[in-house]
Chains A and B, each alone.
Chain A
Amino acid sequence: MNGKVLLGTCGSDVHSVANSLVEKCLVDIGIQVRNLGVAVSMTEWVNATAEFNPDLLMVGSMNGDLQPLVELVSSIVDVGYQPNQIIVGGKLRLGSDGPSLIPFIAASGVHVIESENPTFAELQRIVSSKLMNINVEVNANFAR
């Protein structure tokens, strides 16, 4: 599978186990992953996006600290990415912001993985299908 994914958590989230495993499951199917790690600042996300030029960005949250995630999505869109190039997942409902912010994030066009325990096969399927759609859109743009 061709494609580049920028991966990490933001805000106050320092959970690195899920982050490492998601990296491994994507690398296993041939995706090029740059893993920024945990508690990545907005500036680091934006700079890494400009430098790595990923097809997709995947932001995890295992502590449900969603406000920084909303701000991150907005910053990424500001630098020219489409919301549908962003995937968020993890324990999104853990914090108090979950019920109000999850529908807001989803409504903006970001792909929200609502299941807290998706299998790696599901995750690989979601990412592969996203990458295929993005490549199709890119090819269609070239055709025009």
Chain B
Amino acid sequence: MSKLMPTSRDKRYYENSTSPLVQPRGGRSTVFEQSKLWLALEDAGADILPLTIDSKTRLGQLESAASAYETATRTRTETLNGFPLLSVPISEAKEMILATRLPVSLRHGTPMAENLVKRALEVGVKEIEGGPLSYSIPYSRNADLVEVIKSWKSVENLCYQSRDLIVRENFGILTACLVPPIQAVLTNVLECSFTIEFQGGIPMASFGATGNRVQDIASIEAFKQVFQWFIERRNLTFIDPMIAFHHWMGPFPRDEGNALKIIEDGTYTAQLVRAEKVVVKTAVEALGVPTIEKNAEAVKTVQGFLASTDSSQKSSTADTLYVEEEVKCLVSEAKLLLEQLLKDYKQTEEIILNSVLSGYIDPPFAPHQSCLRGLKSLRAKDGSVRICRDFPGRHSENFVEREFAISKKEWSNSSADEIVTDIQFPGFDKLKV
């Protein structure tokens, strides 16, 4: 079967929306509980439904997942931290998806995702998250990256073969902890171009709130510029990428009021950057897995906020200049690093693999043993995330000098407590939305 590839204007159900579509998070142990969650989310105004997979299925511990699923259905208790798609009978999963009118997005974190994606597409999922970088190095310690890349090539092919046009969203947020914007830009560029090259569907880049809005806006703008350049540089057909913006994914405060401020802040940024989708958090993140009610409440809050907020007001001149400067630095650095990769490697698979092995992609706190773990970052006074150690020195002198100058911190002199402080959302009491 073959079909036309998406054009640069093809945005499916995103086409008619003037503000970001709202997608909550959530995966339950059984069809019954997942359906209950979806019903509540749909009632609350969700635009896209989540199908978050449990951690046992993600890691291929299928016997253990199947046994927990069996217990969950028998005892009607939650035994897993997500939906065990590979343990649930296909007909039941299909029926569950058919019963909703909303598109469903698969969220997993599976490095070798071929089987899971095959099942997801079979049962009617419309959006597939992940990629060879973003679903391997933050989610696995030792998955063989060569095999991971092969598996994601198969994923793109499965999406291509699907009768629907699939939204291929990646996960540029990576470890979600002190990830320097340049890492998110590079990952999003490489993964979206991977999707285009292997015709997986509509590429969707994803970014998350990092605690500094200027940096968040600049990262997305820089990505757009570098992506267009990279696609031309690789002689691929350009498809306008969509943007998913995730609310802050770091640790949440226990105080619901403060948590809400972080959620509103992220929603506002999603509006400002004209994201196609905002992936929402709840005000009770700090307390564990949110209940169905709290999940639904989060959707209502975000929809209410989107409806009542005007994001068309102009930013201050100072902010605009600051964003422009950030964009300029990120674009020039990302092009430099990608050009270096292109000089050394020709095949896409080689480029992706060596972006990690050579240390270009090296997000702080990534568990994968192939990561060099030489890039460290901390938070500057203005809340921005800045590189404070660059080993073995992949970045240009100008770029790191600027980062060091803004950060004014040294990794080796920072205690674990200071790093934890920098991991938290900075100054939520001063948030302006």
Contact = CB atoms under 8 A, between A and B. Distances in A.
B251 to A, nearest CB: 9
Interface string A109-143: 00000000001110000000000000000000000
B183 to A, nearest CB: 15
Given A38-B141, A39-B59, A120-B416, A17 B79 contact: no
> Chain A interface secondary structure, helix, strand, loop or mixed?
loop
A96 interface: yes
A25 B61 contact: no
15 contacts: A12-B56, A14-B141, A16-B175, A17-B177, A17-B365, A22-B416, A25-B415, A25-B416, A28-B415, A39-B141, A67-B64, A91-B288, A94-B81, A96-B78, A120-B415
Given A39-B140, A91-B288, A64 B81 contact: yes
Interface centre among B56, B58, B81, B367 (most CB of A within 10 A): B367
Query: From DSSP, what is the main secondary structure of chain B's interface residues?
Result: loop
Contacts of A121: 417
Interface string B73-90: 000011101000000000
- Chain B: interface residue count, which band? 20 to 34
Contacts of A16: 138, 175, 365-367
Contacts of B61: 11-12
A93 B367 CA distance: 23
Interface in B66-109: 77-79, 81, 109
Interface residues of A, number: 29
B80 to A, nearest CB: 8
Contacts of B56: 12, 65
B152 interface: no
A40 B416 contact: no
Contact of B289 (A11, A12, A40, A94): A94
Contact of A12 (B59, B369, B423): B59
Contacts of A119: 417
B55 interface: yes
Nearest 5 Cβ contacts at the A-B interface? A16-B367, A25-B416, A12-B55, A24-B416, A38-B367
Given A39-B141, A40-B141, A93-B288, A14 B79 contact: no
